[in-house]
Amino acid sequence: MIPYQNTVEFARSLDAKDPLAQYRHQFHIPKVDDKEVIYLTGNSLGLLPKKTRAAIEQELSDWENLGVEAHFQGKNPWFHYHKFLTEKAARLVGALPHEVVMMNNLTVNLHLMMVSFYRPDSTRYKIIMEAGAFPSDQYAVESQVRIHGFDPANAIIEISPREGEHHLRTEDIIETIRQNASETALVMFSGVQYYTGQAFDMEAITKAGHEAGAKVGFDLAHAAGNIVLKLHDWKVDFAVWCSYKYLNSGPGGVSGVFINEQFANDPTLPRFAGWWGHIEKERFQMKKGFIPEYGAAGWQLGNAPVLNMAVHNASLEIFDEAGMDALSAKSKLLTGYLEYVVKESGKSIQIITPSDQRGCHLSLMMDTDGKELFNHLQSNAVVADWREPNVIRMAPVPLYNTFEEVFRVGQILKDY
């Protein structure tokens, strides 16, 4: 790591050498009083790529001029539309193309995955997850447990940080899995914890879960487009993610699914079926008897939400061009610089995100006056994120945030 300096000249020198600097100009940056804000909430809703409108307009034009025939005669035939995203999405999460499909939204997909991969019996029925998971995960897991006739209080094991600590130790996660090996059906974690910003060791968790005889899945809502993922190499069973945070694909954007290739051609695996998951070459024969398409595509239900997918495809093109390795390299520098200027501000702020397990997200905890500090940031055109009871989340995104912006945040903190 380079030695940081708390000067605007230093920050500008890093921006001048940034190989990804061009990408900021490909996004619309919100303004207040005709001045661009410092937008640090890409971990909640990413910014709008400038190319998105043209992508939507193309599909609207085909709808206008071709009507239903756009399913086969459009510039991007709607019948195959999900395929235009597949290879780019697979590269993004470290998967093979047939292991990935874009469909539905995240919580719907999480339920669909648990239908297939949470198969409890009278002795092996427990789910292990982190305490304080995002509510969508908590609610989905609780309801799945109840559907199978179990009590969440007994069937769900939540792992909490040690007393006085804010993030989980990997060894504690692995030990909990080992201690409950004979009763665990599913290990279900986030890839990056939404509140603390901790990036979990997914490879180690997957290995421990499999050694215990359990299936292992991840919610990558705060990981996809944020950290380098290698889902295939890590042998993860399934994963889901949204596209509207780091992936800049609009509120409620289409979700992604990863299903390990070992399940690609297993029609006996329980699943909720729909006609778009039926084998493509026979889809319009309208026959009874579901035959799943090969790979993750066999979990599709309805036909593609084309307009949402057009938005996501425009963003995926940017990620595919920039590359996650390059984005991750800048992220480490940018987030490290934010950590540095926060500490240099002289304020009583505790960073609860572990420095060795994170993406471009820092969670700042204050003992007192946290909301007042948050309001001070807002009044100075810094768009951050408040999470009860006392955390400000900041995400310096490598696609569109700059080192000079991070320096300015430090000065605004110092002036409080």
Domain carrying residue 17: 8-36+323-415
- H or E, element range at 203: helix 202-211
* Confidence at residue 356, expressed as pLDDT on a 0 to 100 scale: 95
* Confidence at residue 289, expressed as pLDDT on a 0 to 100 scale: 92
- Confidence bin at 55 (pLDDT 50/70/90): very high
pLDDT tens per residue across span 367-411: 888 899 999 999 999 999 999 889 999 999 999 999 999 999 999
Could you give the residue ranges of the DSSP H alpha helices within 67-134?
70-73, 83-93, 106-117
Total of domains in the chain: 2
Whichever domain contains 310, its CATH number is: 3.40.640.10
**AA identity, residue 347:** K
Residue 245's φ and ψ, nearest 5 degrees, are: -90, -110
Q: Is residue 176 part of a domain?
A: yes
Same domain, 306 and 175: yes
pLDDT tens per residue across span 123-149: 999 999 999 999 999 999 999 999 999
* Confidence at residue 347, expressed as pLDDT on a 0 to 100 scale: 87
Same domain, 231 and 273: yes
Q: Is residue 50 part of a domain?
A: no
pLDDT tens per residue across span 332-370: 999 999 999 999 998 889 999 999 999 999 999 988 888
Same domain, 297 and 335: no
* Confidence at residue 284, expressed as pLDDT on a 0 to 100 scale: 86
Same domain, 110 and 238: yes
Same domain, 379 and 260: no
CA distance 252 to 242: 8
Query: Cα–Cα distances in Å, from 234 out to 70, 71, 94, 197, 221?
Result: 39, 37, 9, 21, 18
Same domain, 239 and 297: yes
Q: Is residue 3 part of a domain?
A: no
Largest Cα span, the chain: 69
Q: End of a domain among 298, 321, 344?
A: 321
Q: End of a domain among 291, 321, 351?
A: 321
Nearest to 115 by CA among 271, 267, 261: 271
Q: End of a domain among 271, 302, 321?
A: 321
pLDDT tens per residue across span 211-237: 999 999 999 999 999 999 999 999 999
Residue 219's φ and ψ, nearest 5 degrees, are: -95, 110
Q: Are 296 and 257 in contact (CB under 8 A)?
A: yes
Query: What percentage of residues in the chain have a pLDDT greater than 70?
Result: 100
Neighbour count for residue 330 (Cβ, 10 Å): 23
Q: Is residue 180 part of a domain?
A: yes
| pTM score, whole prediction | 0.96
Q: Is residue 41 part of a domain?
A: no
Burial class (CB in 10 A: 0-12, 13-18, 19+), 11: buried
Same domain, 31 and 83: no
Beta strand 362-365 with 391-394 is antiparallel
Residue labelled with tokens 């940031």: 377
CA distance 294 to 279: 7
Same domain, 191 and 69: yes
Same domain, 282 and 163: yes
Q: Is residue 150 part of a domain?
A: yes
* Confidence at residue 366, expressed as pLDDT on a 0 to 100 scale: 87
Same domain, 354 and 314: no
pLDDT tens per residue across span 287-299: 899 999 999 999 9
Whichever domain contains 12, its CATH number is: 3.90.1150.10
In this model, does residue 1 exceed pLDDT 80? no
Beta strand 48-49 with 27-28 is antiparallel
pLDDT tens per residue across span 96-130: 999 999 999 999 999 999 999 999 999 999 999 99
Q: Are 267 and 299 in contact (CB under 8 A)?
A: no
